[in-house]
Amino acid sequence: MSQERPEAGRAERNRRLALHAFAEFAKGNVDILRTALHEDFIEHSPGNPSGRDAFTEFMKNGPVTGARLELKRVIADDDHVVMHYNMIKPGETLGTAVVDIWRMRDGLITEHWDVLQPVPDPAETPNGMF
């Protein structure tokens, strides 16, 4: 009999859902947001709209669209999934380090926070950014 905590099972389900949405989005499928986000999705980043439809439309022309997304790690705990990745826009070489925090409920993303940092020259980060 499994001794897995219910939270661990929920965390893994949420991790898989977020990874699927991230992979689709990274391939250019922005409309995945229409099925991955809750209708009343809450966005915490300044200047980005809340609401599934408004956020999806915003992202179609946002800075992430068209960028190469190199996922480095995923951490899931209960109803949160954290993704750490390098976002490299066309014409860039180093990119931007991004940490996305997603709150999940009933198989949908309900809230989002992020932190972005330009990736500096490797000489400035002897231990690496990722």
The residue whose two tokens read 């669209």 is 65
Looking at residue 90, its pLDDT comes to 93
- Give the position of tokens 């898989």: 16
Q: What percent of the chain has pLDDT over 70?
A: 95
Angstrom distances, CA of residue 102 to CA of 1, 69, 84, 124: 31, 17, 12, 30
Q: Confirm if 18 and 81 have CB atoms less than 8 A apart.
A: yes
Which pTM was predicted?
0.89
List, for residues 45-85, the tens digit of each pLDDT value.
999 999 999 999 999 988 788 899 999 999 999 999 999 99
pLDDT digits (tens, 9 = 90+) for 1-13: 455 566 679 999 9
